[in-house]
């Protein structure tokens, strides 16, 4: 829970997701990179440090706004004797979640490499998201881009870097990044499997590989509606904060929204983190109308 703060801007910054802060920092960097070369030389020289300082200030402000949360996690770790958890207590939860996701994707890659069978899906009515979605195409494009990048890097780096010490290091870094890309893509593909959510009497079993997983109880769903606008616009129209919404889609724009009851808490694992306090969940499914009809009759 977010503690009260006398500074409204701090509260607002704490409620803003890290993804939005990182996006704004990146846009700030790009804007400065475009504007600075157009300025007079004396002004360009004076403002040049802002190229990297301004985005870093945004990220540092977001991190400092969560200092009370870090202190609370530290006290909890000390009280439970979890000394190995202390470094993670001072990291943004999203970073810890991404580390867990990275571990899960690498484990999925090994399962794919060893041709291990996937866990059986729960019984119930399945609602897929791969048949009409763009996920399979996205996987193919990602693999093609990675394999094209390897020879391009090998050809371009010698033209740009003449240092005989730096050049092999860049080759190794680029090859390692391409290899990691293959591991992540194939690991995610194995974990996604047949690509389906399953609806039974207990509720909707949401599963998108290692990215999103959990069960939404049937009695926690107030309504299921088809979505014909961006999720962010729908949330603004209904006065729902970004932290109270969760977008669970392999690649496509969501086409279904599950509106949750306030008195029935739902907890899902999303990008390596436990997400609770949700007001709605956005999904992409191949048959959104069929999902809404099935939820109505259960």
Instruction: Report pLDDT digits (tens) over 186-225.
Output: 999 999 999 999 999 889 999 999 999 999 999 999 999 9
* Bridge partners, 273 (sequence order): 270
| Ranges of the chain whose pLDDT falls below 50 | 1-6
Decide if 30 is inside a domain. yes
Question: How far is residue 224's CA from residue 61's CA, in Å, rounded to a whole number?
Answer: 38
Q: What DSSP designation does 227 have?
A: -
The vertex-156 CA angle with 152 and 162, nearest 5°, equals: 150
Q: Terminal CA-to-CA distance of the chain, rounded, Å?
A: 33
Report the phi/psi class of residue 267: left, alpha or beta, with left for phi > 0 and alpha for psi in -120 to 50.
beta
Domain boundary among 41, 58, 86: 86
Q: Which residues of 241-265 are buried (b: 16+ CB within 10 A; e: fewer)?
A: ebebbbbbbbebebbbbbebeeeee
What distance in Å separates the CA atoms of residue 197 and residue 151, rounded to the nearest whole number? 39
Residue 262, SS3 per DSSP: coil
Q: What is the pLDDT of residue 61?
A: 87
| Residue 15 resides in a domain | yes
CA angle 230, 234, 237 (to 5 degrees): 140
Q: Distance between alpha carbon 39 and the CA centroid of its chain, in Å?
A: 37
Under 8 Å between Cβ of 227 and 282: yes
Question: Could you tell me if residue 177 is inside a domain?
Answer: no
Q: Is residue 230 part of a domain?
A: yes
**Residue 53 domain-assigned (yes or no):** yes
The pLDDT score that the predictor gives to residue 120 is: 85
Structural domain range at position 219: 199-297
- Residue 158: inside a domain: no
pLDDT number for residue 248: 94
Number of domains the chain contains: 2
Q: What are the CB-based long-range contacts (under 8 Å, 24+) for 166-172? A: none
* Domain stops at, among 60, 86, 112: 86
Name the domain boundary from 55, 86, 117: 86
The answer to whether residues 211 and 101 touch, using CB atoms and an 8 Å cutoff, is yes
pTM of the model: 0.80
């Amino acid at each position: 829970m977010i503690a009260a703060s006398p500074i409204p801007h701090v509260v607002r910054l704490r409620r803003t997701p890290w993804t939005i802060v990182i996006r704004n920092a990146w846009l700030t960097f790009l804007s400065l990179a475009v504007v600075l070369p157009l300025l007079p030389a004396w002004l360009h020289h004076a403002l040049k440090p802002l190229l990297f300082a301004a985005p870093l200030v945004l990220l540092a402000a977001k991190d400092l706004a969560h200092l009370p949360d870090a202190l609370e996690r530290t006290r909890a770790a000390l009280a439970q004797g979890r000394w190995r958890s202390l470094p993670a207590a001072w990291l943004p939860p999203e970073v810890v979640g991404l580390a867990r996701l990275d571990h899960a994707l690498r484990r999925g890659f090994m399962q794919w490499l060893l041709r291990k069978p996937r866990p059986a899906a729960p019984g119930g009515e399945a609602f897929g998201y791969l048949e009409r979605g763009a996920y399979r195409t996205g996987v193919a494009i990602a693999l093609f881009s990675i394999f094209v990048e390897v020879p391009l890097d090998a050809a371009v780096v010698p033209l740009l870097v003449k240092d005989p010490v730096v050049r092999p290091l860049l080759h190794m870094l680029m090859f390692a990044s391409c290899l990691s890309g293959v591991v992540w893509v194939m690991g995610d593909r194995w974990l996604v499997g047949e690509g389906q959510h399953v609806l039974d009497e207990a509720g909707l079993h949401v599963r998108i590989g290692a990215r999103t997983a959990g069960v939404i109880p049937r009695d926690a769903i107030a309504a299921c509606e088809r979505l014909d606008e961006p999720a962010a616009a729908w949330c603004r129209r209904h006065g729902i904060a970004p932290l109270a919404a969760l977008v669970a889609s392999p690649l496509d724009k969501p086409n279904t929204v599950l509106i949750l009851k306030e008195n029935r808490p739902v907890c899902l694992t999303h990008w390596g983190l436990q997400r609770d306090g949700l007001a709605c969940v956005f999904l992409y499914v191949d048959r959104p109308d069929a999902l809404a009809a099935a939820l109505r009759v259960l």
